[in-house]
Structure 1
Amino acid sequence: MALVPLNLLISHNGRSSRQHVTCRYKCGDACSKPAPNTSDNEYFGDIVKRMSRRSVLQTAGVTVLAVGAGSVLAACSTSSDTPQASSSTTPAPPETLPGMKFDAVAPNSEDAVVIPSGYQQGVVISWGDPVLPGAPVFDVTKQTAAAQRQQFGFNNDFAAVMPIEGQAGRYLLVNNFEYVTPQFMFPGYDAEAPTREQFDIEIAAIGMGVVELERTPQGGLRPVMGRYNRRITADTPFTLTGPAAGTDFVKTAADPTGRTVLGTFANCAGGVTPWGTVLSGEENFHSYFGAAEGAPANPADADRQKRYGVALEPTELLWETFDPRFDVSKSPNEVNRFGYVVELNPWDPNSTPVKHSAMGRLKHEGANIYVTDDGSVVAYTGDDERFDYMYKFVSSRKIQDPGRAFENTAAMANNMAILDEGTLYVAKLGSDIPAAEIDGSGKLPAKGSFAGTGTWLPLLKSGAGGQAESLVDGFTAQEVAVFTRLAADKAGATKMDRPEDFEANPKTGKVYVALTNNDERGAPGEAAVDAANPRNDNKSGQVLEITDDHTGTVFTWDLLLVCGDPAAADTYFAGFDKTKVSPISCPDNLAFDSHGNLWVSTDGNALDSNDGLFAVALDGPNRGETKQFLSVPLGAETCGPVVTDDFVTVSVQHPGENDDNSIDNPLSRWPEGGNGTARPSVVAVWRDGGNIGV
């Protein structure tokens, strides 16, 4: 194993390891451009200052003492100290929790999936593998669009593994295929002159897929040619629902009704609903839309397009040269038909998937559901961009017949409309931590943790049949649904450091948010640091914990993790001993095991080692303990973790993707090895003769 020495990981001078080629094709090179959010929202720091002044007036003596104590603790802190570790005696380390009893994988740079001792692994399915009857065996030199429509797509991200009731060891695997990187798909690719056939293959390679799986005798998973198998592509018909449907903002020459959208793409994370469907977030959709240099701009659209990162310039893929719907100068409304939460019923291969505009249009990382005791449904979603926002949608409908609803026609009809009727909110955070204690260094404040309160600000109330009411002055309901970012700007939401996956713990109801990174935090002209985003030049991100009044408008929050190398002073692991945790950087996707532990996958590790999957304890003396369960190959990102008692699966996205390499000059040969092609894949990990982590 090629280990990365820990003493080389102390400095935070490095950047995310995500390569420029990945940024160009995955997010339209968003991080190299100015952040689209130029609103003059009140900085969190201004809120802190006002709250601090009130605290000083109310409890001057106590406040001064607390600030003084915090200054002493910060000055004395070492790489292994936390404010809680002030005793002269060292307590015995707590016993590792169930679900986390495995040997931590060390940081490494292997071209392999590295797992703990005592565990086994196997590739479940890879790009190009057959999904539908008649699909040919994959041959990278003989690709066709017709073949790709029947095969597993490229750069799989989110994954759901759903048991098929009554069939032991059988599952549905539902995947997102987020984006394409043509130089890692097509031998001899010419970025200046892609071919029509390559465009057609790319259209077929992204979207979503449904594949039946079965357990193998060894304990792994393998695909089968089942009746549920399906491919969703960038030109599959979708139904647009909610306030945006049928409005002038989404009507096009090809769809004058504004209700039928062709395709989904840039699908990042997602979630499984209690009624048996799958949600998928359309994230960096903007990068598929462009125009020829010098194309005339429509002044009425300019500010709206800019807020979403859409530019009148050629795109990386040049799709606009093959299909005018991707040319914003010719079809300016087509881009408004993307950026929604998508819902797919994987149990009905003939069903038409839906785009829910009542949940707003933004760069949805994904969406995940929490159901309260009275059947109220709440969906949480993050807008994955520097300085963008966190949202929730509270449905006015109650869930019916959860679990097997897909077999109950009336219940499914009700539940498929749950995300069309309700209220959309955006988060505003505050804290009573004195502003002087949040200086951008990441030092803990005197209270020993970063914490505060928050409010959900209402944006849009939607009802049956697309009826809706705007809750933001100066915006119609239809404008809020289609240009949600601008409405959230007006409402005064808090700018966050790339809010990605957003998941509620099914055991406790607490909600967790992966804030991946933001190396522009604190830069001139950008938002200053605050208690929830406490580091300037934030390269490694953090994980936020929210205790929410799910159907209400108030919450409290804490930073569970401030990620990075534990030997660095600016990291925090909920007060757990930092000498006993795994380094973690750039949290992206979240999951929970049956024991209530949080699992975190990473994207863009800034610590000079491969990305991975980590288990994090949430309660008791182990709270903050972080252990790496696996790492993915060179150049790859860890996506879509599924953690069960029997197995763990992850999507290995863009293996070998590196600025200096291509399919003709590969960095990685995983998973085939030898002279094989690097292929995005789903991997399963299981334990010899036992359950995961016990």
Structure 2
Amino acid sequence: MTTMPERRAALPLLSHARGKRSAVTCELKCGNACADDAPNTSENEYFRDLASRAFTRRRMLGGVGGGALAVALSPASPAAAHRRPGHGHGPARGLSFQPIAPVAADVDALTVPRGWTWRPVIRWGDPLSTRAPEFDPEHQSERAQMQQFGYNCDYLDIIETPGTHGRRALAVVNHEYTNENIMFPPSEDADTLEEYKRIAMAAHGLSVVELRRSGPGRPWSYVRGSRYNRRIHLKTRFAVDGPAAGHPLLRTREDHLGRTILGTQNNCSGGTTPWGTVLSGEENFNQYFVADDTPENRRYGIPSTEGGRAWWTVEPRFDARRPGYENEVNRFGWVVEVDPEDPDSTPVKHTAMGRFKHESANIRLARDGRAVAYSGDDERFDYLYKFVSTRRMVRGSSRWAKAQNKRLLSSGDLYVARFSGDSPPAEIDGTGALPSDGRFDGTGEWVPLVEDGCSRVPGMSVAEVLVFTRLAADRVGATKMDRPEDVQPNPVTGRVYAALTNNTNRGVAGYPGVDEANPRVTNREGHVLELTEYHNDAGATRFAWTLLLVCGDPSSAGTYFGGYEGPVSPISCPDNVAFDSTGALWIATDGQPGTLGLDDALHRVTLTGRERGKVEQFLAVPREAETCGPVVHDRDGSGSVFVAVQHPGEDGSWADQHSFFPDYAAPGTLSRGRWGGPRPSVVQVYRR
């Protein structure tokens, strides 16, 4: 066995002390999910048991079966991209940059490579309409926030408008949660505190914003007053479609039909569809409610005691203990679809795609034209899912074609992943040391939950499977993973990449132990999984998999960088992933301050050739911020990289701000109408 860290040099790593994730992040982002017991207490078959049986079968077959399957699962040919990565019109070429050194976690700066610079595209509070007031941190209101760019931005895409020669685009941005501790001045007035809650609610959701620039390669600016500009928040009406629409489990006292939902919240990552709409995942929705203590609510981590943001004091529906509101919790945790090109359209919640803590939803077309969406359930010991549409995508850009394609996610088959390793279980010892074959890898299957319009889960109807998807996946024995977050297919190769952020309970007493797909105990730094569908067809029900990265300080034992032995940048807690025009993987991190003592970052990872596994750091975000929503445009002039900078300076307070990103005015002052405190923002990084 070998781990190879002693032969692999690291790019310069600043001295640091390990710590924990910010307590503020844990409270506001996910409702202290990691401080509580993991909601998955099911006794479904553990991976180690499956791996042991699989290894025994291979020994009986003389190893032939496993090798034959691996050959069958290798890609036959690169998959055609449904949406050309990198945007623009030039050839695929990637970006040239000198990797930056890691940045210490107390540095309040956005650090980019030499020869590059950055500027904000849009910031929290920027007015979207001509009637919206200018951002005034000391005089905020719910009405103003509904017309201004929302708070913590997560998923991001910059969708260039056809026929404008690269001069116009639409930015679509998720707003995951709010940091009230730094957003508002302290107050003891009850009415003021209630208004703070309403403002925070209005700062959740999504923004659609038109961008313009003078030409390719130039910086973008947002267009105030554009007809496309739109805020989607907790008072926006959503249609509900799919098999669970109208079911009693979705009905409330204010929606007797179960077909109209007010709002979306805790929107994390997402994806842009081949037909031009945007998907958004409702993630840690549980923390906004208080509900009766039932097995279903416990499985989704919904608290039965009051605390947190206490939104039920301004909107009773968030108290699901109240008669008529018991099902309100079931109306969140879905994939949302928004059409950015139609500001008058009604966004949709798709029940066919299942209800859980959706980190994202990303589309690849199957060989027969069906839409396949991958999604992770961001919780310790939860699962990886796939949805396959019933209908096939209609080619073309006509309005009729788009209207047909906007129905694709309304019906289809829902699957959950089960993994098997190909190494003796005894070789997976929890340290991260590689097994004797030199890789963490194996095969797997997509286990049906709903197929051909029927439930495949004993004792559960189709609607029950879709509303309580976690419980359905428990029953069929899905593999418990280490917080599967962003899951995306590579538009160049067709392989699928999943960021498994971390799981400090892996192998702890009372919790599942290690397995080949989750090979480290108390996994603080996460790993990245590469999945290849059978015959490289997204519609397949079998796949091969391997771990591309086992993250951490490259000089430490138990890390793995795809077999690459040269210098690499340290990386921890992978969260969002993206691809450039060459098919290289870009990874945004969330948690490096607590694991490596470094600001969170954006890295590029080579996936092919001798440098497979090479990690190069492109940028670092400011103090106490998270890197989100990376977008790489490398066909566009000299190239641009966009990131959403979330919760900068989140450990501060109104009187003691820890960051002044992105304007860096004098601390505690107003300068040129800009607040001397942090504002979550979308930024563009481009060559000088």
Aligned position for 1:378: 372
1:278 alignment counterpart: 278
Contact 1:385 1:497 in 2 (8 A): yes
Question: Could you say which residue in structure 2 is the equivalent of 1:588?
Answer: 575
Please give the alpha-carbon distance, in whole angstroms, between the structure 2 residues aligned to 1:668 and 1:395: 45
CA distance in 1, matches of 2:546, 2:257: 46
TM-score (norm 1): 0.88
Residue 120 of structure 2 corresponds to: 123
Q: What letter matches 2:295 in structure 1?
A: D
Superposition deviation, residue 181 in structure 1 = 1.6
- How many angstroms does 1:6 deviate by? 2.5
Counterparts in 2 of 1:254-293, with a 5 A limit?
254-290=254-290
Q: Which amino acid aligns with 1:628?
A: Q
Residue 423 of structure 1: which of 408, 413, 418 is its match? Answer: 413
Structure 1 segment 47-446 matched on structure 2, within 5 A:
47-59=50-62, 99=94, 101-109=96-104, 110-168=107-165, 169-188=167-186, 195-215=193-213, 219-225=218-224, 226-290=226-290, 297=292, 302-330=294-322, 331-402=325-396, 404=397, 408-446=398-436
- The Cα of 1:56 is off from its aligned counterpart by 4.1
CA deviation after TM superposition for structure 1 residue 192, in Å: 9.6
State how far apart, in whole Å, the 2-side matches of 1:557 and 1:115 are: 33
Describe the superposition over 1:170-204 as per-residue Cα deviations: whole angstroms up to 9, x where unpaired: 11000000011211210115699972211221121
Q: Secondary structure at the match of 2:57?
A: helix
Where does structure 2 lack aligned partners over 5 or more consecutive residues? 1-10, 67-91, 668-675
- Distance, in Å, in 2 between the alignment partners of 1:507 and 1:545 is 14
From 534, 553, 558, give the equivalent of 1:570: 558
Q: Highest relative contact order (Cα 8 Å, sep 6+), 1 or 2? A: 2
CA contact (8 A) 2:12 2:101 kept: no
Residue in structure 2 matched with residue 677 of structure 1 by the alignment:
677
Name the structure 2 match of 1:637: 626
Counterpart Cα distance in 2 of 1:191 and 1:568:
52
The percent identity for this pair of structures is 51
| Structural mapping, 1:32-51, within 5 Å | 32-51=35-54
What's the CA shift string for 1:279-322, capped at 9, x where partnerless? 0000000011016xxxxx46xxx000000001111231110122
Match of 1:538 in 2: 523
Post-superposition Cα deviations, 1:525-577, rounded to whole Å, max 9, x if no partner, equal 11110111100010110000000131121000000000101001111010001
| Structure 2 Cα separation of the partners of residues 39 and 174 of structure 1 | 37
> 1:438 offset after TM fit, Å?
0.2
Report the residue type matching 1:305 in the other structure: N
Q: Secondary structure at the match of 2:419?
A: strand
Could you give the per-residue CA deviations for residues 593-616 of structure 1, whole angstroms, max 9, x where no partner exists?
Answer: 001100000001110000010000
1:194/1:500 CA distance change after superposition, 3 Å: farther
Q: Which residue of 2 aligns with 1:556?
A: 544
CA 1:191–1:582 in structure 2 vs 1: closer, same or farther (change >3 Å)?
Answer: farther
Letter of the structure 1 residue corresponding to residue 38 of structure 2: A
Kindly indicate whether the alpha-carbon contact (under 8 Å) linking 1:383 and 1:499 is maintained by their aligned counterparts in 2. Answer: yes
Equivalent-residue separation in structure 2 for 1:191 and 1:487 (angstroms): 46
What is the Cα-based RMSD across aligned positions, in Å? 2.0
How far the C-alpha of 1:54 sits from its partner, in A, is 3.2
Distance of 2:478 and 2:616 partners within structure 1:
34
8 Å contact from structure 2 (residues 14, 103) kept in 1: no
How many angstroms apart in 2 are the aligned matches of 1:5 and 1:280? Answer: 37
- Does 1:616 pair with 2:614? no
| Counterpart in the other structure of 2:445 | 455
> Equivalent of 2:648, from 647, 655, 670?
655
The DSSP-based 3-state class of the residue aligned with 2:249 is: coil
1:42 Cα shift?
1.2
Partner Cα separation in structure 2 for residue 505 and residue 352 of structure 1: 30
Residues 270 and 361, structure 2, Cα contact 8 Å, conserved in 1: yes
Residues in 2 aligned to 1:560 and 1:100: alpha-carbon distance in whole angstroms:
21
The equivalent of 2:34 in structure 1 is: 31
Q: Distance in 1 between matches of 2:475 and 2:596?
A: 37
Q: Is the 8 A contact 2:551 2:560 kept in 1?
A: yes
SS at match of 2:248: coil
Q: Tell me the alpha carbon deviations over residues 433-456 of structure 1, each in whole angstroms, 9 at most, x when there is no partner.
A: 001110000001111110000000
Quote how far apart the aligned CAs of 1:423 are.
Answer: 0.3
3-state secondary structure, aligned to 2:250? coil
What's the offset of the Cα at 1:134? 1.0
Counterparts of 2:191 and 2:427, CA distance in 1? 54
Amino acid at match of 2:349: K
Decide whether aligned partners of structure 1 residues 191 and 376 sit closer, same or farther in structure 2, where only a CA change above 3 A counts: farther
Match for 2:208: what amino acid?
Answer: V
Which one is further off, 194-203 or 603-612? 194-203
CA-CA distance at 1:323 after TM superposition: 1.2
Q: Distance in 1 between matches of 2:591 and 2:558?
A: 19
Q: Is there any run of 5+ residues in structure 1 with no aligned partner, and where?
A: 64-96, 292-296, 463-467, 689-694
CA change 1:57–1:15 in 2 (3 A) is farther
**Aligned AA (1:356):** H
8 Å CA contact 2:14, 2:102 repeated in 1: no
Are 2:13 and 2:101, in contact at CA under 8 Å, matched by a contact in 1?
A: no
Contact 1:459 1:488 in 2 (8 A): yes
Partner of 1:692: none
8 Å contact kept, 1:183–1:189:
no
Q: What residue identity is the alignment partner of 2:687?
A: R
Q: Aligned pair count?
A: 628
The whole-number CA distance in structure 1 between the counterparts of 2:516 and 2:188 is 47
Contact 2:198 2:314 in 1 (8 A): no
Deviation at 1:409, TM superposition (A): 3.2
* Aligned partners of 1:100 and 1:615 also within 8 Å: no
| Amino acid paired to 1:653 | Q
- Provide the C-alpha distance between the structure 2 equivalents of 1:418 and 1:262, rounded to a whole number of angstroms: 23
The 2-side partners of 1:243 and 1:195 are apart by 40
CA separation of 1:410/1:100 partners in 2, compared to 1, >3 Å: closer, same or farther? closer
Q: Partners in 1 of 2:163 and 2:658 — Cα distance? A: 44
SS in structure 2 of the partner of residue 580 of structure 1: coil
User: Counterpart of 1:6?
Assistant: 13
Partner of 1:514: 499
- Hey, what's the Cα distance between the residues in 1 that align with 2:187 and 2:327? 31
Counterpart contact for 1:177–1:267, Cα < 8 Å:
yes
Contact 1:426 1:459 in 2 (8 A): yes
CA–CA distance in 2 between the matches of 1:397 and 1:540?
A: 40
Whether the aligned pair in 2 keeps the contact of 1:133 and 1:150 (CA below 8 Å) is no
2: CA distance, partners of 1:325 / 1:15: 38
Q: Retained in 2: the 8 A contact 1:616–1:625? A: yes
Q: Distance in 2 between matches of 1:113 and 1:614?
A: 14
What CA distance in whole angstroms lies between the structure 1 residues aligned with 2:391 and 2:189? 48
TM-score by length of 2: 0.88
Letter in structure 1 aligned against 2:303:
A
The answer to whether the Cα contact below 8 Å between 2:361 and 2:373 also exists between their aligned partners in 1 is: yes
Give secondary structure in 2 for the equivalent of 1:590: strand
- Secondary structure (helix, strand or coil) at the match of 2:464 reads helix
